[in-house]
Every structure is written in structure tokens, then in C-alpha cells.
Chain A
């Protein structure tokens, strides 16, 4: 249960802006102002998003719509909470592109839940909408994918 405030860290490496966004996106998230000031290619690092509520979805969609179409952007290291929105909310992605995301797995032997970072490009080439096999870091046994495949990977075209 997350009610951590939203934290946005900006890192400008000259040619592009990296926005690391962490915490909760809710009715108090003021994304529009931050996003509207972006004028160079942007990478959104979304690993730290723990919760996004319906008011937060509205904030996000309105803010993404404010990004000029000539400003390219990618979503990287998307947390499972972001993946859910990508699958169900039209306009959540805007004119952007998803590069990578975390997928939930479960080790039946260790009884431990974990997430694995997956690349969209690699999935498109190799496994499509099937979860790629992964091994437990501890016991090395095969992990089970811990969600509904057709729902979770639905956003991969």
C-alpha cells in the first residue's frame, strides 16, 4: 500500500533529458507543468512508480498530451503498475514508445516473487506475447510468470 509522494529527478545529458519518476502518481501529481517544459528527446524511467490511481491516470494522460509531437520520448524500466495502464488506458502512451518494462515472476521452490526487466524489441523478435523463460537467481530453477500473459503483454504490438 503505497502513499509515497511523487519524486521527479531530472538529468540532462545534453542531447536528451532523463526523468526518473518515483512514488505515487495521484491527484496531487503536477506533471503537466514539468512535461510542458520538455523540448529535447526524453526518457522516462518509471521503475519507481509504486501506485497510480484513477486521478493520477488523468494527470498523466493530460500531461503526456502536452508534450509537443516533435519531442520524441520513450518509457523505460516501466513498473508493473505502469504496464497495467499501458494495457488498459488509451492515450497513456501518447506518441511515445515503450523500450523496457518489468514483468512479475514467481519461484515455486523458494516461494519468492520477483520482477524481471524485459526489452520490448527482444520480445517482439523472440517470444512475442509469451513470457520469456527466466531462472531464479537463488535456486536457478525455472520461474513461473505471475500474471495473465495475454493481458500483461497486450501492449506489445
Chain B
């Protein structure tokens, strides 16, 4: 998507490596890059030009989150990309205010660099779908009935076993796929009036999906990373659902089983199991969940999950 409205990228206190990469991509895609050394400067610069992307490190959850809130008010369509360190635990005012950055990347150099690269390219090009963007050459299968789920899981299990994936990761991948497929069958389908078709059904019900309701599963493997995706043809998943689950994760708040139906519990368990979770939504058309699981996380990086919510913009 060309930058016809001359939107800029604003970056606050970047590290050398992040700045280097950001400059390169901004140049490549024709986006002016604006650098700020502190919050006040960021605000001043944000007033002068429309922003497409604001990138910041969360160092002080109160100040940085208040800053993001102000920028979001000025430029509602500006996406937020926040880096955060392991030391930042607890309730972010940002999340309490329900003003969420679209992308949360843990600071664990050098892993954040490829994550940032693909994220920026997706945002700025508005080309967001596809597990292939994460270096995966996937195998794909379409699910037509809930009865097929077990067989497909077995087939995918056999594929990963042939790649010598450790049992611990295989179990997590099984859970992720199970939850995402159940979400695609029971939660995602809506009729022409936007009403959910199978939402209230018991999860052991047999659902034969109509041709236009069938989700697609993609799975693959690159060195050290297992990747899965489930795409439904509805695009009903909302950003607020995504981040309410993230907030539960961040504050390690226990979930009350039985309190809610639908995707909440399953998503919570999915997020717990992955290293990186990407949600791509084209509203009313399709939602793609991509899960990346590292076979062996570097020591000390457990629990630092990278989370992304992309939404297609109208041309």
C-alpha cells in the first residue's frame, strides 16, 4: 500500500539495532522516520504529522502508557508497537484503560529483530495474511466437519514426529491446534445477520460445515520453530477479546472457569502455550491465527511471548 497520505513512523528511544532496521524498512517503503529522545519530544513531533506507526520501549508503564494514550487519541489509526522487558510485571495502566498497543515484542535481543522486521513489513505494506511470511513452507488442509479433527491432528502429529519435535512441544502444539480449530468451528461462523451459528452447541457435537464455513489449517516447520495456523472465512475476531486475554496473562490472574463461554478460555490456554501468537483479521472476511513455538527457548526467556494483532486497512 503506497504511503499516499505521507504518514510517518515515530520511534521513541530506539536501540541501535532497532533503529538500523527501522530506517531500512521505512526507506524501502517510503515512510518518513521521526525519532524522539523522550516522551515530551515524541508528543511535540506527533502533533506535526499523521502517524502510521508509533514504536516505543515500555520503561515506565505509567508514563509510557499515558504517552501512547495521547498519541492514539491524536491519531486513532496509528498502530502501536511496544517492546517490553521481563522485569515489567503487573497491571499496565495502558491495559486498564483498554488502549492496547497492537504489537508486544519482548526485549530479548537478537530474537526481536526478525520479529520486528516481519511486523513492520506487514503493517506498512498492509499485506498481513500468510504463515509463509514467517519463513514457513506450509502444508495445508481444509476441515469440513468436526469429525475430521482427530484424524487431522494425528496426521499433523506424525509430520512433527518425523521432524523430531520434543514431546513437550508436541503436546503444546496439540493443545493450540485443538483450541484454534474448535474456535474456528464453534465460535467463528456467523450467518448473514452476523449471528453466531454454532456458538451454543456442546463441544462434542458433530458439526458438518457448509462449504463457505470451512476453516483452513496450515502447518510447517523451520529450523527450531514449529508453526501452525488456522484461518476461518469470517473475520469476526475482535482486538478487545485478544487483549483482554493478554491482560490476564500479564497479571497472571486466575481464570474463573464457567464464567464465560466461547473463545476466552481456549485463547487463554493457547496464549500460554506459544512463544509468538499472531492474529490477522480482515473484518467480515477472514481471521487467521498463527502460532509459533520454539523447540528450545533460550534460558531466561520463558514466558516472554510476542503477541501481534493485525487488521487489514481499507485501501
Contact = CB atoms under 8 A, between A and B. Distances in A.
A51 B257 contact: no
Contacts of A146: 302
A58 B17 CA distance: 46
Contact of A1 (B171, B179, B266): B171
A27 B202 contact: yes
Nearest to A150: B252
B262 to A, nearest CB: 10
B146 to A, nearest CB: 10
B16 interface: no
Given A50-B171, A54-B179, A54-B266, A1 B157 contact: yes
Interface in A117-157: 144, 146-148, 151, 154
A28 interface: yes
A16 to B, nearest CB: 27
Given A51-B171, A113-B168, A90 B203 contact: no
B185 to A, nearest CB: 11
B19 to A, nearest CB: 30
A89 B266 contact: no
B203 A27 contact: yes
A89 B257 CA distance: 6
Interface string B187-202: 0000000000000001
B254 interface: yes
B171 A92 contact: no
A26 interface: yes
Contacts of B234: none
B150 A113 contact: no
Interface residues of B, number: 35
Interface in B69-116: none
Given A1-B173, A2-B174, A61 B258 contact: yes
A3 B178 CA distance: 9
B173 to A, nearest CB: 5
Interface in B140-176: 150, 153-154, 156-157, 160, 166-168, 170-171, 173-175
A96 interface: no
B27 interface: no
B166 A113 contact: yes
B253 to A, nearest CB: 9
B202 A90 contact: no
Contact of B182 (A1, A53, A151): A53
B35 interface: no
Nearest to A29: B204
Given A28-B204, A147-B302, A54 B265 contact: yes
Contacts of B303: 148, 151
B113 to A, nearest CB: 24
Contact of A55 (B156, B182, B256, B299): B182
B177 interface: yes
A70 B302 CA distance: 40
A51 B257 CA distance: 17
Given A1-B157, A53-B269, A57-B265, A88 B166 contact: no
Contacts of B45: none
B252 A104 contact: no
A34 interface: no
A3 B254 contact: no
Interface of A: 1-3, 26-28, 50-55, 57-58, 61-62, 80-81, 84, 87-92, 104, 113, 144, 146-148, 151, 154
28 contacts: A1-B153, A1-B171, A3-B154, A27-B202, A27-B203, A27-B204, A51-B171, A51-B174, A51-B178, A52-B175, A53-B178, A53-B179, A53-B182, A53-B266, A54-B265, A55-B182, A55-B204, A57-B265, A58-B258, A87-B254, A88-B268, A89-B254, A89-B255, A91-B256, A92-B257, A113-B167, A147-B302, A154-B252
